[in-house]
Amino acid sequence: MAEFPASISAEAHVFPKARARVQAMKEYHPPLGSRDRLRLDFNENTVACSPAVREVLARISTENLTRYPERGPVEAIVAGHLGLDPENVALTNGVDEAIHVLFEAFLDAGDELLLPVPTYTMYEVYASATDAKIVAVQAEGDLAFPFERLVAAITPRTKMIAIANPNSPAGSVATREQIVAIAERARHAIVLVDEAYFHFYGETVMDMLGELPNLVVARTFSKAYGLAGLRVGLLASGVENMRWIRRVLSPYSVNQVALACLPAALDDREYLDNYVAEVLAARAEFEAVLDAMGVRRWPSWANFVLVEIGARHEEFVQRMNAEGVLVRDRSSDPGCDGCVRITMGTREQMRRAVVAIEEAKETIKLGGVTR
């Protein structure tokens, strides 16, 4: 075994450093907590995946696992499900990889990414690994989509605009008309519409891909479908955009198990409809309880609700944890000081959450008006 010269000590050794951009990247630390608690902090499916998916999992053999995954056949199935051609769709390792690949494909030095904030943290994380400039467009106090501010921020340097629709953490939305107006105003830029929470909102711009060449739509199967552990997402766009996206995308990033299970998940429409209906019913019931308690909240079109707790938000999160319910402190998000996001589960689960909130009520700043 080769040895370092005697003149080089372990203390004196200089280790290689990452690129300056990587060193400056914002770190993302996902919430960690015990699974023996009610996890209302991740916006996951809080029940289970479709029974049809479980049947597929039971049939997967060890021989299946020896093969490299082939995403093409499943992409064709997904494309048909969405009413698109296969060349318009690329499956990814969760929507996180979709965002990462898109930014790597299109953002270059001197480019600007317009980012309405607050929003999904990973946009900023992945963009900061490129040489592009992030231009944050702050929402007003009601956290509604800042349409006019965003349009005013578009410049010739704008290369991409990322719109989560519905948005996290507030659950607010951009209208179809607003998205179309932005895409037409910024014809020189990619407009990403991240529809991760589409099923709880019901509105999409997927059908506009043929009319808006600069539109890219992202979806995930981690939320309503309950496949977060398998990591499957997608990007959909025109053929020219997909050409560059596929050049950056790893050919084997979506694993064999995920590809085997996805068609079964898509086929079980009854499961999907029932789960979404239950979450929407739970959200309506939970919001009514918050209003009656005098807890301020933001209107949501997603599977979560943002509430204003106030100065004792950290204590509130800790008290909820002690009661067996995990929620997400979003106070560090721009414009969200004192706010906590609560994932919507079933009606039974949300009634359990209400009991926990009652126990932590003394930590909440009560005011009563819905934002």
Read off the pLDDT of residues 296-334 as tens digits, 9 standing for 90 and up: 999 999 999 999 999 999 999 999 999 999 999 999 999
- Work out the average pLDDT over 154-179: 98
Inform me whether the pLDDT recorded for 1 exceeds 60. no
Q: What is the mean pLDDT of the chain?
A: 93
pLDDT score of 19: 78
Nearest to 116 by CA among 41, 167, 183: 167
**Bigger pLDDT: 270 or 20?**
270
| Tokens standing for residue 289 | 């309880």
pLDDT, tens digit, 9 for 90 and up, residues 31-73:
666 667 899 999 999 999 999 999 999 999 998 899 999 999 9
Residues across the chain: 371
Instruction: Return d(Cα 263, Cα 201) in angstroms, integer.
Output: 23
Range from 20-24, 72-76, 91-95 carrying the lowest mean pLDDT: 20-24
Q: What is the pTM of this model?
A: 0.93
Instruction: Return d(Cα 196, Cα 214) in angstroms, integer.
Output: 19
Range from 123-132, 171-180, 214-223, 258-267 carrying the lowest mean pLDDT: 123-132
**Domains, the chain, with CATH or none:** 22-46+270-363 (3.90.1150.10), 51-268 (3.40.640.10)
For 204, residues 6+ apart whose C-beta sits below 8 A from its C-beta are 195, 198, 217
pLDDT, tens digit, 9 for 90 and up, residues 340-357:
999 999 999 999 999 999
Inform me whether the pLDDT recorded for 281 exceeds 90. yes
Question: Are 252 and 317 spatial neighbours (Cβ–Cβ below 8 Å)?
Answer: no
**Angle CA 28–115–91, to nearest 5:** 65
